[in-house]
Structure 1
Amino acid sequence: MRRRPKDRKEQIARAAAEAFSRFGYYGVSMEMIASRVGITAAALYRHYPGKYDLFRGAVLGLGQQLVDCTAFADDEPLDDPQDQLHRLIAALVDTSLANRNSGGLYRWEGRYLRGDDQAELIAQMRKVHRRIQRPLNEMRPGLTSTQRWTLSTAVISVIGSIVDHRAKLPAAQVRRLIAELADTVVRTDLPVEPDGDRLLSTGQPVRTDTSRYEALLSESMRLFNLKGYRDTSMEDIAAAVGMPASGIYRYFPGKSDILAAAFRRAADRLSAELSAVAAAATDPEDALTRVIDAYVERSFAEPELDYVYYSERLNMSPADQKILRNMQRATVESVVELVVAVRPQWTPAQARFAVHAAMSLVIDLGRLMNYRHTVQNYATVVRMLEATLLGRYRLRTTLPTK
């Protein structure tokens, strides 16, 4: 007689979190999760009424792990704020490593939570932010509220980047490296610009190609970012471009093909731009700083690209996902070469984790700032990337004027 394991519900929760993280909310069925656990779908329904309940439990369960691992900070005096901050960072790194196969769920799929569930996830993350900000405020009492949120977001972003890629490095080295990067960003002096609110651009790319093909790509990405891939219809895209929905099929077989084509086009352009920027540099450090400038500039000009890539890439075919992964890997490796040349004490594997951390910072800080392309925001994000990849930041005498 087979006995049900005592931790069956925990097994289901782990399997659900990994499945939702890998395939997305809409790519997972109750049957898939039951198969991963080794039970029937009927048995799974005895534990959870439906897929959303599993999803809710998986996302909020991950958020609760972040809350639980940092709870010690509420119960002790701040005699040594620096030590407490280091222990908070270490706890978050350990939790992220333990959930590396599913941690992306709360970062990219949490948007599918409903009503009070969405509010609960936000409350969980705010609690973790507050715990980081408490010792930070003691260490740096002159920080404004905006600066504290910027720095706590940067810390969580660097740590959270672990779950966004599959680069390999021994766990002990990951702990040391990510803790070092988090400590670096939290100590970075944030720039204060006299005309910090001045807009550098409208936040929208200047399009010289007005063809229907280009318009379909750009408007689709804008809508995918605004409404989500699943809630954007072909009719929505057609209306934004000013054409009948049937006309789209002259260019693309389906919606997922639009998504894949937009990403390939963006990846090609980014690769060409970064290569040209690096080629014009005088040495590796100059090349790396130019690449940082160009990457941040592109992210503010086209803010939907990175976020939609991470949040909607699972809606592409497996073949298109593989192509995009290879293109992204090539871009990452080109930056890794520059980082290793500037910081020879790092191995390529260590530099790879740092580059992914920098990419995560661009997304998370950009979203915090609502991608307002101001002098202040641009300088802040650039400085954070310099701290992450160079280990220091440059004092600038000039800033972009466009």
Structure 2
Amino acid sequence: MSTADDPAPPAVRRRPRDRKAQIVKASGEAFSALGYHAVSMEEIAARVGISAAALYRHASSKYVLFRDAVLGLGQQLVESTDIADGDRDPATLLTELIEAVVDTSIANRTSGGMYRWEGRYLNDEDRAALKSQIGLVNRRLQKPLLQLRPELTSHERWMLSSAALSVTGSVTDHRASLPVAEIRELLTGLASAVLTATLPAQFDEPEPEPLAPNNLSVGGRYELLLQESLLLFHKKGFRETSMEDIAAAVGMKASGIYRYFPGKADLLVASYRRSADRVSGDVSSVLAAESDPEQALAKLIDLYVTRSFREPEIAYVYYAERGNIPEAERAPIRNIQRATVDEWARLLAAARPEFSHAQATFAVHAALALVVDLGRLVRYENSGHSRACVRLLMEMTLLGREPHLV
């Protein structure tokens, strides 16, 4: 029999019932924010509030956590579109499917970037599983679309459904702010507009002029290092690319690179600055020549698509390798990028008075991300037809229609 002087029994610590869900959420947010290679088990454990040893009792490795988080996001998209099964009014079903995908993207806004840009680190089997998940979601969107628009070819349906998913997923690529209900309505409207696009028919075009040979002067070597490093960052990833890889691609010793760049990160920073400056320069030149906001947007879209298809590595690396930019360099680059998006948004809000500046900012982010996603879909085939399709879908995303050009 115990007395008042007896010590109290130790409190029993119970594992939260949702511990697994907490771990999946924390790991997804960490991988999305920092990139696969920059995340450690200790980082994830700290986010959950447990020790690394406790985390290892739930998962044998970082890769297992990564795989579960990525495929878990894919499965959420699949489950959210289960409503596609059964007979429904196609117009109603299409709207409900878009809303379901938008809701899933918003719910995973802080971790969705992982599946969009870090999925390349999955092994072959898991990458195939992710591809299967996303393919199923595309086909579910296409089911009512086929009923509503039977004239569409299979390629056109895939391009439209992929564009709609890109628009809805773009919310994971930035941190602009709007009330959730407003984001939901806006993204649903943008994706719906994309699905109404009438894509241009195939057309013949003249053979492109051959590229000039690389100049191996001092200035040419600098440019060649930038170009080859970008190609490797795009193909292998920043972390997997070594200075020796870059040197071999250029045909020089690794030690020779240090005459031009202090380190690998400096090559990445130089590429980001170059890209940001070019897009910013396009804005300045267009605004100097064009006062009408709709006409200015149309010209900016054309320039952006042309650049993206000419140098697809830049656009992809921009999204996929942001976490590898040194902290000291992030703010200046981010400021240039934000200023550029802000100018696009200002033009869009002037062309579409129903949009606030904040809403226009979301639309601009959606349109810019769409170029990368669709470029990957068509494997950046730099043809007039591919560029015309992507250009039109950017216009539909921003304006809800083709621009009235003069």
When the two structures are superposed, what TM-score results if normalisation uses the length of structure 2? 0.93
Task: Find out whether 1:71 has 2:79 as its counterpart.
Answer: no
Task: Find out whether 1:269 has 2:275 as its counterpart.
Answer: no
Task: Find out whether 1:156 has 2:165 as its counterpart.
Answer: yes
C-alpha separation between the residues in 1 aligned to 2:97 and 2:261? Answer: 48
Question: Displacement, 1:33?
Answer: 1.0
Give the match for residue 296 of structure 1: 305
C-alpha separation between the residues in 2 aligned to 1:380 and 1:205? Answer: 28
Work out whether residues 278 and 290 of structure 1, in 8 Å CA contact, stay in contact via their aligned partners in 2: no
Deviations along 1:273-328, whole A, 9 cap, x unmatched?
22102321142211111111111111111111111111112112112223222221
Deviations along 1:38-78, whole A, 9 cap, x unmatched?
1111111111111111111111101100001111212x214
C-alpha separation between the residues in 1 aligned to 2:311 and 2:359? Answer: 28
Task: Find out whether 1:127 has 2:136 as its counterpart.
Answer: yes
C-alpha separation between the residues in 2 aligned to 1:49 and 1:189? Answer: 49
Pairing of 1:197-216 with structure 2 (within 5 A): 210-216=219-225
Which residue, out of 165, 177, 187, partners 1:168? 177
C-alpha separation between the residues in 1 aligned to 2:26 and 2:214? Answer: 44
Which residue, out of 303, 318, 322, partners 1:313? 322
Task: Find out whether 1:141 has 2:150 as its counterpart.
Answer: yes
Pairing of 1:239-388 with structure 2 (within 5 A): 239-388=248-397
Residue type matched to 1:106 in 2?
Y
The 3 A distance-change label for structure 1 pair 200 and 331 is farther
Question: Displacement, 1:199?
Answer: 5.5
C-alpha separation between the residues in 2 aligned to 1:211 and 1:162? Answer: 39
Question: Displacement, 1:200?
Answer: 5.3
Give the match for residue 13 of structure 2: 2
Question: Displacement, 1:194?
Answer: 3.1
Give the match for residue 114 of structure 2: 105
83-92 or 239-248: which moved more?
239-248
C-alpha separation between the residues in 2 aligned to 1:233 and 1:41? Answer: 30
Work out whether residues 199 and 373 of structure 1, in 8 Å CA contact, stay in contact via their aligned partners in 2: no
Question: Displacement, 1:98?
Answer: 0.5
Residue type matched to 1:77 in 2?
D
The 3 A distance-change label for structure 1 pair 201 and 66 is farther
Matched residues, percent identical? 56
Work out whether residues 214 and 224 of structure 2, in 8 Å CA contact, stay in contact via their aligned partners in 1: no
SS in 1 for 2:353: coil
Question: Displacement, 1:370?
Answer: 1.0
Give the match for residue 400 of structure 1: none
Work out whether residues 94 and 144 of structure 2, in 8 Å CA contact, stay in contact via their aligned partners in 1: yes
C-alpha separation between the residues in 1 aligned to 2:285 and 2:263? Answer: 33
C-alpha separation between the residues in 1 aligned to 2:352 and 2:269? Answer: 35
C-alpha separation between the residues in 1 aligned to 2:70 and 2:373? Answer: 18
Structure with the greater alpha carbon radius of gyration:
2
Residue type matched to 1:147 in 2?
E
C-alpha separation between the residues in 2 aligned to 1:28 and 1:89? Answer: 32
SS in 2 for 1:232: coil
Work out whether residues 199 and 374 of structure 1, in 8 Å CA contact, stay in contact via their aligned partners in 2: no
C-alpha separation between the residues in 2 aligned to 1:320 and 1:68? Answer: 40
350-359 or 231-240: which moved more?
231-240
Question: Displacement, 1:27?
Answer: 0.9
C-alpha separation between the residues in 2 aligned to 1:201 and 1:173? Answer: 47
The 3 A distance-change label for structure 1 pair 194 and 33 is closer
Task: Find out whether 1:53 has 2:64 as its counterpart.
Answer: yes
The 3 A distance-change label for structure 1 pair 183 and 207 is farther
C-alpha RMSD of the superposition: 1.8
Give the match for residue 93 of structure 2: 84
Gap regions ≥5 residues in structure 2: 1-11
C-alpha separation between the residues in 2 aligned to 1:226 and 1:37? Answer: 33
Give the match for residue 235 of structure 2: 226
SS in 2 for 1:26: coil
Aligned residues, how many? 393
Work out whether residues 13 and 54 of structure 1, in 8 Å CA contact, stay in contact via their aligned partners in 2: yes
Give the match for residue 180 of structure 1: 189
Task: Find out whether 1:23 has 2:37 as its counterpart.
Answer: no
When the two structures are superposed, what TM-score results if normalisation uses the length of structure 1? 0.94
The 3 A distance-change label for structure 1 pair 44 and 18 is same
Give the match for residue 96 of structure 1: 105
C-alpha separation between the residues in 1 aligned to 2:76 and 2:248? Answer: 43
266-275 or 50-59: which moved more?
266-275
Question: Displacement, 1:221?
Answer: 0.6
